[in-house]
Amino acid sequence: MKADGGPLMQLKDLRKSYRLRRSLAERMRGINRTVTAVDGVSFAIPRGGILGLVGESGCGKSTLAQMIVGLLAPSRGEIEWNGIGLSTLSGDARRVYRRGVQMVFQDTHSSLNPRKRIRVILREAVIARGLSRSAITPRVNELLGQVGLDAQLLDRYPHELSGGQRQRIGIARALAMEPSLLVADEPVSSLDVSLQGQIINLLRELNETLGLTIILISHDLAVVARVCDQIAVMYAGRVVERGTPDKVLTAPVHPYTQALLDAVPRGLERRGRQRTVLPVEAGETPGGCHFRRRCIHAMPECSDHDPELETAGSEHEAACLLVRRLNQASPK
């Protein structure tokens, strides 16, 4: 589905740092410690598609997701929604935004209230959307149908449902708000592989039938490879490669994406070469490319140069000195 009127959302140099807890000695010496979870992310989210955001645990995916849905304020940068900066929204406009951008979480145990029956959970969501009394029950039934569940589940409590059913309820509750963007943060990571496929297919179905734009977040490249129209690969708070799946998955240019792909055991075609990343001790990489200490292609210049995304072909971008070299050798 192609968009009219530009992207749904534009992320502009988004950054988020967390302040870490300090030891007594650090407090006495006035030392502050911070961790930069998202470190300058810029890209457009096209309308009507499924964007996959992938990267290993701790690379900043959830932090980025929480900024997108408005749960966390960026330390720097801006999110534009239909061309308007989120930081400029106030009151009603902010509420409209928060309703229009919904999130689905990995952990359905903590995201659904264990003391409420499914009927109550869904009714509350529908009421929050402002439906009239007579419209509530039909809408709850409609939502259940949209996520492929039977009305007999309505009288159960969340713990009486399977993990897959609970995740469907989480999705139905988000849909109750009639969002235009759904951010699904590791929605299938706690499910068996067979159930994972069903939930991923449901997301694709909702994307197609409702025209819902979806950001699908996973640490598992095989999950995003199945349904996404666009894939963004994150490493250490930055997007290192971005593009359509046929580019990112079959012709990756960033050494990190190449290593991720080599780690996928099934479901994707195995590649000829085996690449791995080098092990690295924890800690910040001072200056230069964030990946360089784990990169098998690292060059001395990678220490001075923090690469930005640049074109690696049509609908394909990567942040790597190798790409820049190629572009300089044969300018497009």
List interacting residues with ligand ADP (CB under 6 A): 18, 20, 35, 37, 55, 57-63
Query: How many CB atoms are located within 10 Å of the residue 294 CB?
Result: 18
Closer to ligand ADP by Cβ: residue 63 or 180? 63
Quote the least distance from Cβ 37 to ligand ADP, whole Å: 3
Quote the least distance from Cβ 318 to Mg ion, whole Å: 23
Quote the least distance from Cβ 190 to Mg ion, whole Å: 12
Handedness of CA 166, 170, 173, 179 (dihedral sign): negative
Six-digit token pair at 241?
Answer: 């490669």
Residues 6+ apart with CB under 8 A from 46: 2, 3, 7, 8, 213, 229, 230
Q: Which does 294 bind (CB under 5 to 8 A by kind): Mg ion, ligand ADP, none?
A: none
Closer to ligand ADP by Cβ: residue 63 or 165? 63
Given candidates 45, 52, 62, 312, which one binds Mg ion under the rule CB under 5 A?
A: 62
Closer to ligand ADP by Cβ: residue 3 or 35? 35
Quote the least distance from Cβ 183 to ligand ADP, whole Å: 12
Residues 6+ apart with CB under 8 A from 226: 197, 200, 267
DSSP string, 61-86: HHHHHHHHTTSS--SEEEEEETTEEG
Angle at 40 between CA 38 and CA 43, to 5 degrees: 105
Q: Which does 35 bind (CB under 5 to 8 A by kind): Mg ion, ligand ADP, none?
A: ligand ADP
Strand partners, 241: 233, 318
Contact segment (CB under 5 A) with Mg ion among 57-65, 126-134, 265-273, 314-322 equals 57-65
Q: Which does 196 bind (CB under 5 to 8 A by kind): ligand ADP, Mg ion, none?
A: none
Closer to ligand ADP by Cβ: residue 54 or 126? 54
Strand partners, 233: 54, 241
Quote the least distance from Cβ 107 to ligand ADP, whole Å: 12
Closer to ligand ADP by Cβ: residue 181 or 183? 183
DSSP string, 278-317: PP--SS---SS-TTGGG-TT--GGGGT--PPPEESSTTEE
Closer to Mg ion by Cβ: residue 59 or 161? 59
Query: What residue ranges bind Mg ion (CB under 5 A)?
Result: 61-62
